């Protein structure tokens, strides 16, 4: 069981398509140059008072808002997710009426016990800020940051993550496709396995 985390790597995106209400995920594509990710929970406390006391309390889970910092946004991500188009001269165009696409985000934290891998099922990203500065006597790397909104998917799932007992075959195939859990089978007596 991990005790500490100290690294972030292997960020991948998987474009979501919705065909007649059926959600599917494209093969994940690596986002090279993953620097950091910061996510803050989104939701609110619900408190209901009756009989002169707190009668019911709950916390809603509406996912996360945050940032994903990369060395440079890839051209593939700009086209697949941010909605930029490429003409026959291989020039990218950002159009004011371009439509961004939702995606799943896969990544991992490095821990003292190996990798803890995540998949966030329904993400949207806004265009990154553009900034640059002249080169001086030393080179200073400028990164690009995406603002993320991560929301529950149609099944109300926000994310899944591996554990210290996740089977090796699940870990090794984590980035080959978006993880969908196996459907539990019912026994003859009607109980789930």
Blockwise average pLDDT, block size 10, the chain, 193 residues: 89 95 95 96 90 90 96 96 96 90 96 92 93 82 94 96 94 97 68 58
Range of the domain at 30: 5-172
The answer to the question of residue 184 being in a domain is: no
Residue 158 lies in a domain: yes
Q: Is residue 187 part of a domain?
A: no
What pLDDT does 84 receive?
Answer: 95
**pLDDT at res. 188:** 58
Number of domains in the chain: 1
For residue 6, what are the CA distances in angstroms to 34, 68, 110, 177?
A: 14, 16, 6, 25
Which CATH number do you get for residue 26? Answer: 2.30.110
Distance CA 107, CA 28 (A): 11
Evaluate whether residue 188 is within a structural domain. Answer: no
Examine residue 181 and state whether it is found in any structural domain, yes or no: no
- The answer to whether residue 144 is domain-embedded is yes
* 178 found inside a domain: no
Q: What is the pLDDT of residue 88?
A: 97
């Amino acid at each position: 069981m991990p005790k500490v985390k100290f690294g972030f790597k292997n960020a991948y995106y998987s474009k979501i398509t919705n065909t007649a209400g059926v959600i599917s995920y494209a093969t994940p594509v690596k986002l090279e140059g993953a620097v950091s990710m910061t996510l803050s929970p989104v939701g609110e406390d619900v408190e209901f008072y009756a009989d002169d006391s707190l009668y019911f309390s709950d916390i809603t889970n509406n996912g996360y808002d945050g940032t994903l910092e990369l060395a440079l946004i890839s051209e593939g991500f700009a086209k697949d997710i941010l909605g930029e188009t490429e003409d026959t001269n291989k020039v990218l165009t950002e159009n004011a009426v371009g439509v961004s696409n939702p995606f799943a985000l896969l990544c991992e934290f490095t821990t003292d016990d190996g990798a803890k891998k995540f998949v966030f099922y329904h993400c949207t990203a806004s265009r990154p800020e553009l900034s640059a500065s002249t080169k001086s006597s030393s080179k200073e790397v400028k990164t690009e940051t995406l603002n993320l909104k991560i929301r529950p998917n149609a099944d109300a799932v926000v994310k899944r993550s591996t554990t210290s007992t996740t089977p090796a075959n699940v870990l090794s195939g984590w980035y080959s496709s978006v993880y969908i859990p196996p459907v539990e089978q019912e026994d003859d007596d009607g109980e789930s396995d």
